[in-house]
Amino acid sequence: SQTEASNQQGGLIDELYCQIWKQTTENPNPESVKKGWELMAILAGLCKPSDPLLEPLLDHLTAISRSADIVGLLAKYVVKTLT
C-alpha cells in the first residue's frame, strides 16, 4: 500500500541520517568527517528525517555548528535547511 511504502521510505531516510551521524561522530579521519557532513548537507536538501529523529538530530547539529571550521559551517547549513 502507499502508506506502507511511505513508512518504508521514511525508515530508510532516517537510517541514512543515522549512518551519516555515526560516520561524523568520533571519527579520527578528518577527511571522512568532512565528506560525511557534505553528504548530510545534500541529504538535508533532499528530504527531512522523521519527527522523532529531528529533535535529537537538531540538538547534535546545533552543538556542532558552534565550531568555526568547515564542519561547523556545514552543520549550520543543515540546521537552516531542516528548520
pLDDT at 50 over 60: yes
Count of other CB atoms within 10 angstroms of residue 71: 19
Place of cell 521510505: 9
Contact 47, 16 (CB under 8 A): no
Question: By percentage, how much of the chain surpasses pLDDT 70?
Answer: 88
pLDDT number for residue 76: 95
Burial 5-24 (b: 16+ CB within 10 A, else e): eeeeebeebbebbeebbebb
The residue ranking higher by pLDDT, 82 or 7, is 82
Q: Which three three-digit cell numbers place residue 73?
A: 559551517
Q: What is the mean pLDDT of residues 58-82?
A: 94
Q: What is the mean pLDDT of residues 26-43?
A: 94
